[in-house]
Each structure stands twice: as C-alpha cells, then as structure tokens.
Amino acid sequence: MTIGFIGLGIMGKPMAKNLLKAGHSIVCYDVNAANVADVVASGAVAGKSSADVASQVPVVITMLPNSPHVKSVVLGKDGVLEGASEGLILIDMSSIAPLASQEVEKACAEKGVRMLDAPVSGGEPKAIDGSLAIMVGGEKALFEEMKDILLVMGASAVHCGPIGAGNTTKLANQVIVALNIAAVAEAFTLVRKAGVDPHLVFDAIKGGLAGSTVMNAKAPMMMDSNFKPGFKIDLHIKDLANAMDTAHSVGSPLPLTASVREMMETLHADGFGGDDHSALARFYAKVSGTTIGE
C-alpha cells in the first residue's frame, strides 16, 4: 500500500522506515528537510506539502508534537484536508488532547475522511524496533481495517473506544510512566544518600513487586548519568499538561501528576528540557545534593 507519512521526528522517522521495510510505499513530508532526506534515502518519496501527500495516497499517518500541530497540518492551509479525496483514512499517531482529536475527526468527517487517533508508547527504542504499544480510538471496523498497518510499527494495537479514547489511554499511560520514573529517581537517590550501591539495589529489587519496565529502562540510565533522549522532558510536560486539562474537564484530580509536572518544569527552567525523562534524577540531585550516578 502507498501510505502518506507526515512528521518525521524522533518517533516518526523510524516508524516510516519500518513501513518501508515491510514493503509499503511512503510519500512523506516534514518541515525539517534533513529528516525528509533521511527517509527518502531509505526509499520514500518526498511530498511538497501535507496537502500534496494526502492527494497521492489512500492512507495518511501523522506523527506530530501536540494538538496545535495536528490541527495545523490537518485543517490548515496546505493541510491534509485540502488535498484529501473522499474516503481518505487519517491515522493520527500523535499524543494530543482527546478533545482535539474529536475536533479534528469532526472536520474530517465533513470532508468524507475517516480518522483514528492512535498514539503510541515505547519511545525511540521501540519505534526503531517496531515494538510500540499502540492505543486506538475510532470506529472498530476502521481499526480492524488498519490493524495490519499499525502492527508493522507496534507489537500491540488495542482498540480502546470511540475517537479520543486512544489519546485518553495515552494520557493515563503517561501519568503512570511519569510517576514511576519519579519514584525510581526518589528511591535511588535515597539509596545513594544512605551509602548503598544502587546497582546492587537494582539487582535485588527488579525481580520483585517494585520491578517494572520503567525501572528496568530508566534506573540504568540514572546510574550511568546518561540522559540522551528517548523521550524528552519537554514532551512529557506536554503530555502531563494535556492529562491535567482533560482531568479537570471531567472532575478527576491528579495531585501526584501535578507534583511530577512541577519537577519537570523545574528541569525545563534549568535547561534540561531536551533530556530524557529519566533526567528526573537531576531534580533529586538538585534538592538532595547527591547524584545517583558515580
């Protein structure tokens, strides 16, 4: 199948390449010409704009930073809907506010375009190896129609409900991940302050109830003081902001999320917004005077 792919950043680029490896043809577009050139070198064709991409394909995938970017790319000048024919399928894999997904879907429906919201979890490593967890909202029949394409990019794709449900699920995921990372950073700072080797603590507890995918991925980064981004602090701030806005709209308090968001905001203010979210360890180093790493 020929698929349009718009948004070739840390996540989108390897996702598009995995579709190419699976035998799909890709027409791609990004505001960053170097990212486009990279994917074209892997076999894709460059589109001139989002509208141009949409005019050439039956399916468009978008992978963009936040709600305003999705609205601009889909609804704006030279956007997807300008180039779309009736029957086009839009799969928005960005992590955005559920209400924004619903707004975009409504505009798509008026043009005869069908849409799924399908955000992902797993960060750059799982985008590269095609093992992302994909959370999908929209019509169940459309999900089933697109499932094989989604499973090229992910190890799982689960239909979570109507449009917006994918992003609601992703917000819950991001809350859980953020709080887990903060708990790991807090606990391992305690360990270091108490004079116990965090590597030994990690080996001792990872097989017990405290063990988790988050701890297994992020504790070694903290112990190595390696904060090369797989998922940036600034992006997680965006997700937690969307989570809190959504929670407030439905009357669901998020006091722990609010605390971790403020930790991340502190890191952003200190110039670490581009670091991996495991850099929450930097916040604890700042307040405790002790780093987890050697």
Query: Could you tell me how far CA 181 lies from the centroid of its own chain?
Result: 16
The yes-or-no answer on residue 170 being catalytic is yes
Q: Which residues contact 134 (CB under 8 A, 6 or more apart)?
A: 93, 118, 119, 120, 150, 153, 154, 156, 157, 158
H/E/C letters for each residue in 91-118?
EECCCCCHHHHHHHHHHHHHCCCEEEEC
Given 170, 218, 232, 238, the catalytic residue: 170
CB distance 122 to 230 below 8 Å = no
CA 244 → CA 171, 240, 249, distances in Å? 9, 6, 8
Beta strands in 76-209 (DSSP E): 89-92, 114-117, 120-121, 132-137, 154-161
Rounded-to-integer distance, Cα 122 and Cα 154, Å: 9
Amino acid code (one letter) for 116 = L
Environment class of 209 (CB within 10 Å of its CB; exposed 0-12, middle 13-18, buried 19+): exposed
Could you list the active site residues? 170
